[in-house]
Amino acid sequence: MNAKHLGHDHGIRHWVNEGKRIAADRKRRIQRTKNWKFDTIATHGLYDIQQATHLNNGSIIEPIYMSSAQAFHGFDEMEVALAYQMPSWTYSRIANPSTFFLEETVALLEAYGTGLDTGCVACSSGMSAIRSAIEPFLINDKSLPTPNFVSTSRVYGGTFQQFHERQMGDKGIEVRWVTDNLDMDEWISKIDKETRFLYGEMPSNPAVALFDIEKIAALAHSHGIPLLVDATCASPALLRPLEFGADIVVQSASKIMAASGFSIAGTVTAKHNIVSKVGPDEMKADFATWMKLIPYRDNGPTLSPFNAILTLNDLRSLRSRAAQMSESALTIAQFLEAHPKVASINYPGLKSHTQAGIADKYLTLVDSQNKNGKSQNAYGYMLTFEVQEKDPYQPNNTRVFYDNLDMIWRATDLGRVKTVATIPAISTHQQQGEKGRELASILPNHVRLSVGIEHVDDIITELDHALCKI
Ligand SMILES: *Cc1c(COP(=O)(O)O)cnc(C)c1O
């Protein structure tokens, strides 16, 4: 026991032991859950009958603890809890019992099939998850020159802004964009002693660009730095980057993970014992826990417990939704590929896709193995296509098509149960200007389609109707 405690010895000892008991029980439940299949983990997580009857009046659904803070029995428990010597939640900026169930479920899903120990922290949005994940590696170490990091250039518009404007513009931390994701030499040429991590979006939003996670993870580790992957557009149902050597995976849980569209949320999931050139040993040992207890506590990018449970509720059916949406998206991609008003279509499931080999390696439906152990490919809910135009910079046909949509929603949204169409050049990628859009390979006649769970025939009828108005 720690000699500098102010409480009574016997009281301190009691709560430290109580903490050990809670931690051992949690570990036991994690171990049990790890033996389950993906759908079972997604459905139950760590919340079981014993928890429900002891703590929640038997409710079979996880409680929504809409509470700012936790009360303690007395001086000694408060001291032990706030010294992080027993599992507790203290204050909802740092932790909350409802959010805990979401975090533990995501940590297990991201690690599914790997045996890895992982931790997860839920954030108020995908952008706050990305910021929370990268900033610990960009700390100002006065003994070192200004840091940089290397990223795929085909990234979500918000990510481009955060890296280019907030990190590079505001703070002088250089982001080095890789323009050809599959060119190893380009990745290698951008890394130097000051590079703190590698970053990639897979598949990218909206260009559906891919990169070879396994190779880039090995490259990062050979430089003693981690690989961070944003796998939002796949979700853990189709791709778990940790399995291929990535160290940290971020998700905008606002998308297919919470497909009903009730809330915005993000997650950061890290495996234990990552490599990094900077940061304390505790950070490398268990990034997620360290992040939660230190920078997350201080910066406060917390998810509301209410949104945590809404997200968790959608997560239970993630796999079946990902399967249906992927199947429909492939059918729609094939339809669009043959349509005379469509100039080109970008969907990794099409044979014509330039990165089809990489797609087949990485994008598979979890727990879909056939008798020979082969997994079924599923390429996700997002596709982009170019409307036929004389000049892509005069997108007149694109406007006619877009304004003639009826059932399909015109919105900047993604991964929804409802099909949504977006024009990236005037929405998600408006702010970074022509040059930024060029880097991300986005033209004004590009349409991003997020395929929902309606009957696929109805989606196709609607697309055909709008295209035929051109
Ligand atoms: C939407 C999105 C984000 C940002 O997430 P928010 O929850 O909207 O903050 C980050 N990355 C990708 C790939 C996204 O699609």
Q: What is the pLDDT of residues 286-336, one digit of tens each?
A: 999 999 999 999 999 999 999 999 999 999 999 999 999 999 999 999 999
Segment 11-33 mean pLDDT = 95
318 vs 326: CA distance, rounded Å: 12
Distance 252 CA to ligand 1 centre (A): 5
Residue 200 pLDDT > 80 = yes
List C-alpha distances in Å: 88 to 81, 296, 300, 301, 354: 6, 16, 17, 19, 50
* Ligand 1 neighbour 382 (Cβ under 6 A): no
Closest protein CA for atom 4 of ligand 1: 126
Domain boundaries of the chain, sorted by first residue: 96-315, 318-467
Q: Is 152 in the pocket of ligand 1 (CB under 6 A)?
A: no
Q: How many CB atoms lie within 10 A of CB 17?
A: 12
CB 449 within 8 A of CB 384: yes
How many residues are present in the chain? Answer: 470
How far apart CA 467 and CA 26 sit, in angstroms, is: 54
Q: Is the CB of 200 under 6 A from ligand 1?
A: no
Strands across the sheet with 118-123, in order?
Answer: 118-123, 266-271, 248-252, 227-230, 195-201, 148-152, 174-178
Residue 3 has pLDDT above 60, yes or no: no
- Across 336-363, average pLDDT: 93
pLDDT category at 386 given cuts 50, 70, 90 is very high
pTM: predicted TM-score of the whole model, two decimal places: 0.96
Q: What is the pLDDT of residue 365?
A: 98
As a whole number of angstroms, the distance between CA 436 and CA 56 comes to: 50
* Consecutive H or E run containing 39: helix 38-44
Strands 409-410 and 420-422, sheet pairing: parallel
Is residue 250 within a helix (H) or strand (E), and if so which, with residue range? strand 248-252
The residues facing 195 across adjacent strands are: 148
What integer pLDDT is reported at residue 433 of this predicted model? 79
Does ligand 1 lie within 6 Å of residue 125's CB atom? Answer: yes
Within 10 A of 198 (CB to CB), how many other CB atoms are there?
A: 28
Q: What is the pLDDT of residue 406?
A: 96
By CB atoms closer than 10 A (0-12, 13-18, 19+), residue 291 is buried
Question: Which atom of ligand 1 is nearest the CA belonging to 255?
Answer: 1
For the cut 60, the answer to whether the pLDDT of residue 1 exceeds it is: no
What tokens were used for 131?
């910021």
pLDDT at residue number 210 = 95
Identify the CATH number of the domain defined by range 96-315.
3.40.640.10
* Digit-coded pLDDT (tens) for 221-231: 999 999 999 99
DSSP letters, 299-352, are H--BPPHHHHHHHHHHHTTHHHHHHHHHHHHHHHHHHHHT-TTEEEEE-TTSTT
The pLDDT, as a whole number, for residue 2 is 52
Looking at residue 356, what is its pLDDT? 77
Q: Is 414's C-beta closer than 6 angstroms to any atom of ligand 1?
A: yes
pLDDT tens-digit series, residues 61-98: 999 999 999 999 999 999 999 998 999 999 999 999 99
Rounded average pLDDT over 263-270: 97
- The pick from 255, 263, 413 for probing ligand 1's pocket by mutation, whose C-beta has the most ligand atoms within 8 angstroms, reads 255
Structure token digits, residue 136? 């610990």
Q: What is the pLDDT of residues 427-469, one digit of tens each?
A: 887 877 787 777 777 899 999 999 999 999 999 999 999 999 9
Residue 400 vs residues 176, 387, 430, 457: alpha-carbon distances, Å: 38, 10, 20, 22
Domain 318-467: which topology? Aspartate Aminotransferase, domain 1 (3.90.1150)
Ligand 1 pocket member 230 (CB < 6 A): yes
pLDDT at position 432: 75
State whether the beta carbon of 77 lies less than 6 angstroms from ligand 1: no
Ligand 1 pocket, 205 CB below 6 A? yes
Question: What pLDDT, on the 0 to 100 scale, is given for residue 188?
Answer: 98
Mean pLDDT value of segment 249-269: 97
| E-state strands within 80-194 | 118-123, 148-152, 174-178
User: What is the average pLDDT value for the chain, to the nearest integer?
Assistant: 95
**From CA 190, how far away is CA 70, in angstroms rounded?**
47
Q: What is the mean pLDDT of residues 184-197?
A: 98
pLDDT tops 60 at residue 273: yes
- The average pLDDT across 125-139 equals 97
